[in-house]
Structure 1
Amino acid sequence: MEVLNYSETTFEKLPVTVFETPQEGAIYVAHEIAALIRAKQARGEQAVLGLATGSSPIGVYKELVRLHREEGLSFQNVVTFNLDEYYPMQPDELQSYVYFMHEQLFDHVDIRPENVHIPDGTLPIEQVKAYCQAYDKLIEDCGGLDLQLLGIGRTGHIGFNEPGSASTSATRLVKLDPLTITDAAKDFIKEEYVPLRALTMGVGTITKARQIILLAWGEGKAKILQETVEGKISDAVPASFLQQHPHTRVVVDQWAALELTRIKTPWLVGMCAWDDALIRRAVIWLSLKMEKPILKLTDEDYKDGSLSDLLVESGSAYSLNIRVFNGIQHTITGWPGGKPNSNDDKRPERALPAHKRVLIFSPHPDDDVISMGGTLLRLVDQGHDVHVAYQTSGNIAVFDDDARRFADFALDFAQKSGVGANKMQKEHAEVVEFLGHKKLGEEDSPLVQDIKALIRKGEAAAACRFCGVKDENVHFMNMPFYETGQVKKKPLGEADIQAVVDILQEIRPHQIFAAGDLRDPHGTHKVCLDAIFAALARLKGTEAWLDDCYLWLYRGAWQEWDVQDIEMAVPISPEELMRKRQAIFKHQSQKDSAVFPGNDKREFWQRSEDRNRATAERYDQLGLAEYEAMEAFVRYRF
């Protein structure tokens, strides 16, 4: 919701440009860099760029490569200095920033090799100090950085300048923050493999650049971005030092901007153009701020909360409270497939048909039970024809030890039964040989990939049986984009989309449930959702059954929808919560410790239950009925 043109104030101390998608923002930044390169070329000068790594600049580099290939952008006059590198680190390792930069940019453009500078992670420790001083001197000798590209870490670090870094700090060797190490674990498989130190340009080195562009994509960056842009300058948030730089720009997508005051609470900035969604958000915010149920809010509360303008638009607090309360109350239903023989005017789902065909898409083989296991159980219990489609094999999320254990089992079984024992012994030896010499981050062999996929498949099938889903209703799609044997995946392709089209046409569901992490620009969930959207767009207008099909989006294990966004909230009883936990336990390879646990040390069942209980508690705080737990959904209208 836009603030009206006569806004009264701003909390932002840096200029922020918000784009709808990361792709749009990345293209904008790439064209800014291209314009700088071309302007320098026209004057016969070098363009000196400071470059970043990580997920944030990948889209920028992709567009720069396209400009080089399709529009003749030359990098012959470009000199680059990268921000950082892990220490120690060999340049040919998959996790090195040398590898990253060549894979994402340098190998695809005509930059001169001698113009590329990346901190050297192979140096003996006694040479590091002199090397870092020489790195800063070389930047100065090249005339300084014309433009520095930055991402931002969840600790507020820029480069690897962790909290506590001084504003005048130079290029140096630093210790990594535990949170940074946790975030890096996805690239190193396990936290214990992440280097504890890194070489980084200092804050002082960075802020000498003539221009700085800071990138942030996704909801995960929203909180630290708000602290950087609106908070006080502090070494606790090193990125906040950018407030002192006269030519810093911040480029974000709509999800990274969610915590900015003008986006989150625009009534604190100026006059608003009120609609139902913004009114609901404001009233929920006020209720939580005042620690009062919605129906107890008074006119005085609205005035104290800077919402007197809302009273002018909507009347008294009494009528406004009832209106918002009823809207939230109508999201609650114990019948996620619709309640038969009932008036469904105020319910999130249709009463008819009484028994629906339901298709639950699960990006990984456990997302269904983790994110909506209680709803899945209820749909089955209430007689709906429930199908579950596992979009990817999930094979990279299996430990090598588990693959070896199952290979041992297969060999023992073959030898005991006498069926294919010789062939199995040969394949077992192949597995043992590969795993014994596997390097960190190395792609699994096809045989190991197959074993890991079968482990996940068996677990998913067991969970579905426990939930009462028929064996013939369990579908394993094995979408091709995922099958790389590595963390890095292929782009979404035609075969992926067609696989979704095929299963939709086969089942012709009345309801679709899908993982809807729209706010996260990276990851498997986003690609799987894009495939569903593309398939629905292809079928829309050609398949009559789609006219009576609802698409409900659930979120992942870490976060739930905000209350103001929820359109269907399904209460979960203590007994149902325990059944859901037991279904999650069927995924034994993910139990105790997952390969990719993220920044949360809890097990998946604990994250899920805590999230479900928190949603129920939030409804209770607003004055709604008190439940043990809740699963929440947002309807996507296509």
Structure 2
Amino acid sequence: MEHLIKKKSISYEKAGSHEDNRYEKIHNVVFESSSEASLLVAREIADLIVDKNNRGETCVLGLATGSSPIRVYDELVKMHRENGLSFKNVVSFNLDEYFPMNPESIHSYHHFMNEHLFNHIDIPKENIFIPDGTIAQQDIPAYCQGYEQKIKSFGGIDFQLLGIGRTGHIGFNEPGSHYNSITRSITLDQLTREDASSGFHGIENVPKKAITMGVGTVFSAKRIVLLAWGHKKAEVVKQTIEGEILPQIPATYLQEHLNTTMVLNTEAASMLTRFESPWLVGEVQWSEALMKRAVVWLCRKVDKSILRLTDKDYNEHGLASLITEKGSTYQLNIDMFNKLQHTITGWPGGKPNADDSNRPERKSPEKKRVIIFSPHPDDDVISMGGTFDRLVEQGHEVHIAYQTSGNIAVSNADALKFAEVAMDFLPNCKGVDKLQKATKAIEDQRENEIDPLEVRELKGLIRKRESIAATRYLNVPDEQVHFLNLPFYETGTIKKNPLSQDDIAIVKKLISDIQPHQVYAAGDLADPHGTHKVCLDAVFKAMAELKSQSYMDQCWLWLYRGAWHEWEIHEIDMAVPMSPDQVLRKRKAIFFHQSQKDGVLFQGEDLREFWVRAEERNKETAKHYRDLGLADYAAIEAFKRFDY
């Protein structure tokens, strides 16, 4: 195998690597797909292992945990199984571990590494080194010195794999870490603990300390590759690559490492200057999409609406060529105002008997068949409850497809409450034995145990009945509500199975049965659980396989975003405004999902309740439109059309 990502002096042309960009201080490559990027990183690691083995040398790897490197480890396991890649000459040192932490816990990084890599390859167990989260507090300094000496005894780290936290931490080197720091105990930042809270079923269960390699330890590696995926990493990626070196953002120290590459997907790289405002970097080819992005960017920069922008505004902010392209500021402003205005519609299914040449949706057929795919049993109302309500109100045949059961997001306390109500109400019913078995399993459950089948079934039924209550409130007939229970999800754990043909077949059957004119799906690829991504892939693959069917010629795919993120204004193809009354109806629909309110298990880093996040996001979108000089609405839900 040949190296595909090597040194700072080498760029990878297929990816977005710009060596001459004056804003960027760390070599980086950008890929459309994190899967493609992970494969290339895995190949570089494999090349190094093989090269070292051929020379009779040990290959010393520094390894990271978290969601970012999982696909890299999957690819290395695949290379071991299918191509005979051997790890017998590999010694590995992990970056960090929570403290205190039992290595047998499902939350430990020992468990993570075994599950994702070590249990599936032939690395000698004695060659695996992971910080010990069980040592006595007083022994930590000596233990950390020993960890440093062990790394040095193998000649140092040849290749260090890193992720990056939103605080800018690498390993668990939190803000304030010194560039000469070595392996040590550290107190975790609140934001870091919030980011980890979903895996621990609540921030109160996340350890407050960790043992981590220091910045200096990481810096001594001969080669460093840092992975970052998703929009939530975009801000810290920009600070790391383009900002000053600051101890408050430890990752910025990597600017001084001579052989570091940051490997990014497009969302993580989206705030880099060459993507956010490429006209500041060099000459650009002005497409319509780029014009829209530039005008929205300029409005925010100078705090003006579109129609108030002047020649001076454009000239002083690097956009003189855009005026040349369009002929005049007046014409450009009018054109961009109209394009954004035309995204707004109160008729998400198309307005009957209207000129639809400048509308986001077609007027025909007047009554459309619609499928709203919801990854979890509440994403439909959280993400597009107002549009959902409008489609039903305007007479379209709306089907809701809940792709997963959502059972792992129900707490044991809620499950017990519902089970005990049922047993009290019907003490002699046929299913009481099953309920008793489920409640006993919950009461006897120990840490690290997966919910048994009857508990998962109970929790899934809670989510199902909450969903039906919400869809009934929005006047959808029960027969138009579909619970797909895609198999990939049903593991009982946070980690899910890969998408399979069985999952795709279920989605295909629903689409072929209904033959929709519109499909709505969650396009939130940075969902903390990863479930949104797999569910979207199932829709993409199903629609691609059905594309040859004649009815698919009339089927448009609209992507909405979930509770964590919204489309940027320049990305929006359809903006559906909501009145204050509709905002309240959406809120009430969300409230029917009682198990996900007041202490939801997978809150993520945002501690607001889902209905609050949704309302504030919709109000913010409306404000952005208002600030651009467009109509003033209480709230707006946004969608992007996708050509599958």
TM-score (normalised: structure 1): 0.97
Q: Tell me which of 467, 480, 503 is aligned to 1:473.
A: 480
Partner of 1:540: 547
Are 1:446 and 2:453 an aligned pair? Answer: yes
Q: Retained in 1: the 8 A contact 2:16–2:29?
A: no
Q: Tell me which of 166, 175, 189 is aligned to 2:187.
A: 175
Alpha-carbon separation, structure 1, partners of 2:270 and 2:136: 44
Are 1:158 and 2:164 an aligned pair? Answer: no
Q: Retained in 1: the 8 A contact 2:34–2:265?
A: yes
Partner of 2:609: 603
Q: Retained in 2: the 8 A contact 1:374–1:576?
A: yes
Superposed counterparts of 1:334-413, under 5 Å:
334-413=346-425
Are 1:482 and 2:489 an aligned pair? Answer: yes
Letter in 2 for 1:37: I
Deviation for aligned residue 1:521: 9.0
Letter in 2 for 1:461: I
Letter in 1 for 2:260: T
Q: Tell me which of 613, 619, 626 is aligned to 2:619.
A: 613
Q: Deviations over 1:262-302 (max 9, x none)?
A: 11110111111111000110011001111111011111110
Alpha-carbon separation, structure 1, partners of 2:375 and 2:122: 38
Partner of 2:254: 242
Partner of 2:210: 198
After the TM superposition, which segments of 4 or more aligned residues of structure 1 sit over 4 Å from their partners? 2-9, 519-522
Q: Retained in 1: the 8 A contact 2:15–2:29?
A: no
Alpha-carbon separation, structure 2, partners of 1:70 and 1:427: 44
Partner of 1:583: 589
1:411 is paired with a residue whose SS is helix
Alpha-carbon separation, structure 1, partners of 2:155 and 2:352: 74
Partner of 2:157: 145
- Alpha-carbon distance change, 3 to 147 in structure 1, aligned in 2, over 3 angstroms: closer
Are 1:58 and 2:70 an aligned pair? Answer: yes
Q: Alpha carbon RMSD of aligned pairs, Å? A: 1.6
Name whichever of 487-496 and 3-12 sits farther off: 3-12
Alpha-carbon separation, structure 2, partners of 1:56 and 1:195: 21
Are 1:132 and 2:138 an aligned pair? Answer: no
Deviation for aligned residue 1:430: 2.0
Name whichever of 570-579 and 58-67 sits farther off: 58-67
Alpha-carbon separation, structure 1, partners of 2:498 and 2:624: 38
Structure 2 unaligned runs (5+)? 1-13
Letter in 2 for 1:195: P
Alpha-carbon separation, structure 2, partners of 1:314 and 1:394: 50
Partner of 1:298: 310
Q: Tell me which of 42, 45, 67 is aligned to 1:33.
A: 45
Deviation for aligned residue 1:7: 10
- Alpha-carbon distance change, 165 to 332 in structure 1, aligned in 2, over 3 angstroms: same
1:235 is paired with a residue whose SS is coil
Q: Retained in 2: the 8 A contact 1:85–1:97?
A: yes
Q: Retained in 2: the 8 A contact 1:185–1:194?
A: yes
Letter in 1 for 2:372: I
Q: Percent identity?
A: 55
Structure 1 unaligned runs (5+)? none
Letter in 2 for 1:419: C
Partner of 2:8: none
2:426 is paired with a residue whose SS is helix
Partner of 2:466: 459
Deviation for aligned residue 1:3: 13
Deviation for aligned residue 1:191: 1.1
Alpha-carbon separation, structure 1, partners of 2:190 and 2:357: 51
Are 1:279 and 2:286 an aligned pair? Answer: no
Partner of 1:42: 54
- Alpha-carbon distance change, 454 to 7 in structure 1, aligned in 2, over 3 angstroms: closer
Q: Tell me which of 500, 521, 526 is aligned to 1:493.
A: 500
Letter in 2 for 1:371: S
Q: Retained in 1: the 8 A contact 2:15–2:30?
A: no
Deviation for aligned residue 1:428: 3.5
2:131 is paired with a residue whose SS is coil
Partner of 2:5: none
TM-score (normalised: structure 2): 0.96
- Alpha-carbon distance change, 6 to 461 in structure 1, aligned in 2, over 3 angstroms: closer
Partner of 1:567: 573
Task: Name the count of aligned residue pairs.
Answer: 631
Are 1:419 and 2:429 an aligned pair? Answer: yes
